[in-house]
Amino acid sequence: MPKVSLENISMRFGDITAVSNIDLVIKDGEYVTILGPSGCGKTTLIKMISGILVPSEGRVLIDGKDVTGLPIEDRDNGYVFQNIALFPHLNLEKNVAYGQRVRDRPKDKQKEVSHRYLELVNMLDRMQMLPGELSGGEQQKVAIARALASGSRLLLLDEPLSALDARVRVDLRYDIRRLVKDLGITVIHVTHDQEEAMSVSDRIVLMRNGSIVESDAPMNLYRSPNNIFTAYFIGETNLLLGAVSRRDEKNVYVMLRDGSEVRVKETPFKRHDAVVLSVRPEYVYTANEGLKAEVEEIIFMGTYWRIRTTAESEDKVEYNVPIDNDLPCIGDVVYLVFNRKMTMAYERPRQGLEEAIKLE
């Protein structure tokens, strides 16, 4: 399966720079998800990899071969779009066989390949049906089978699940992951859905404003992100303003705006450095003393309750309560403590916190 290398890739549309100076290597057989908010450049990037767009600068290499100017039909890639693009007048068998047909393969070979990939997506028993007789999820399975049956060495998925119902999306994303791993195919998957990215990827590439913010395994991006935007965009987190107040052999302390101190994970910041703390709601607990806060809202989340508070430090802090535990009441005062090992400190952004984490 192919290795994909992007070398200093940029794409401009007039005065607008959609993608800027991206260097990225995707290994053989790796499942990489390009994640980011709408307008961040992720779809532009996958279109340059596929050959739909030619970059303004830089090169696209597949297995070391420069394919930057090569048309999409000559790249041997499978491309699955957000909008399902099956031929409505052809049955499933002929839809999936289409790639073999345009390569002028023998009819028995076309049928053999079509049946093999329809079986892989559990649609062989419906091969005589037309696309319009299927659900959206079933149609997208066939679209994936068609992409693979064309002999593609690289599978490109451009928001392939976003048009489907929530339950179908969940089931199909696991089916895709299982299928491509069984086949050993290299996959580049574009999505704005962080849960989708977290659950299927070997690695997530997070984009913002046309550039890569951070790239790592899903668990690393969730538990110990290097960038404050990553902490904010992936999952949910509380962000609190403070400054490093003191250090000892084992701990670093950050003073919040109300004068209270919080222990945080080891950090290189020095005393008086202005920082932003990030701690996810599942690592915030109540205690007999700690950060004083008032309960403002209680939200049922299915398997737990989400408690929203405003602290005396003026920070908004959320924490979770197991579904069977006792709940506070709105207006109650609670004392909050943070899991030290899961409380990250970041340099206070010079442009301001809101500007550093905004999605556009």
Q: pLDDT tens across 280-325, in order?
A: 999 999 999 999 999 999 999 999 999 999 999 999 999 999 999 9
* pLDDT interval class at 2 (50, 70, 90): confident
Same domain, 142 and 241: no
For the chain, what is the domain count? 2
In a domain, 357, yes or no: no
In a domain, 306, yes or no: yes
Same domain, 303 and 168: no
In a domain, 356, yes or no: no
Last residue of a domain, one of 203, 228, 253: 228
In a domain, 359, yes or no: no
The sign of the CA dihedral 350, 351, 354, 358 is negative
Last residue of a domain, one of 184, 208, 228: 228
Same domain, 223 and 333: no
Q: What is the pLDDT of residues 15-62, one digit of tens each?
A: 999 999 999 999 999 999 999 998 999 999 999 999 999 999 999 999
Same domain, 173 and 203: yes
How far is residue 341 CA from its own chain's centroid?
24
Regarding beta strands 16-26 and 4-13, do their DSSP bridges make them parallel or antiparallel, or are they unpaired? antiparallel
Same domain, 270 and 178: no
The per-residue pLDDT for 359 is: 84
Spell out the residues 6+ positions from residue 85 whose beta carbon is closer than 8 angstroms to its own: 143
Average pLDDT over residues 153-176: 84
Structural domain for 269, as ranges: 237-349
In a domain, 92, yes or no: yes
**Would the pLDDT of 102 be above 80?**
no
* pLDDT interval class at 85 (50, 70, 90): confident
In a domain, 174, yes or no: yes
The per-residue pLDDT for 292 is: 96
Same domain, 190 and 279: no
Q: What is the CATH number of the domain that holds 69?
A: 3.40.50.300
Output 69 or 230, whichever has higher pLDDT: 230
Same domain, 193 and 337: no
Model-level pTM? 0.90
In a domain, 121, yes or no: yes
Same domain, 203 and 330: no
The per-residue pLDDT for 249 is: 77
**Would the pLDDT of 252 be above 80?**
yes
**Mean confidence (pLDDT) of the chain:** 91
Angle at 355 between CA 336 and CA 301, to 5 degrees: 40
Same domain, 11 and 159: yes
CA torsion, points 116, 118, 122, 128, in degrees to nearest 10?
Answer: -130
Same domain, 220 and 242: no
Same domain, 209 and 285: no
Least confident piece of the model among 51-60, 128-137, 330-339: 128-137
* pLDDT interval class at 360 (50, 70, 90): confident
Last residue of a domain, one of 200, 228, 256: 228
In a domain, 51, yes or no: yes
Q: What is the pLDDT of residues 169-197, one digit of tens each?
A: 888 888 889 888 888 889 999 998 999 99
**Would the pLDDT of 1 be above 60?**
no
Q: CA-to-CA distance for 90 and 289, rounded, in angstroms?
A: 68
Q: What is the pLDDT of residues 233-244, one digit of tens each?
A: 999 999 999 999
Angle at 158 between CA 192 and CA 10, to 5 degrees: 85
Same domain, 30 and 171: yes
Q: CA-to-CA distance for 91 and 348, rounded, in angstroms?
A: 58
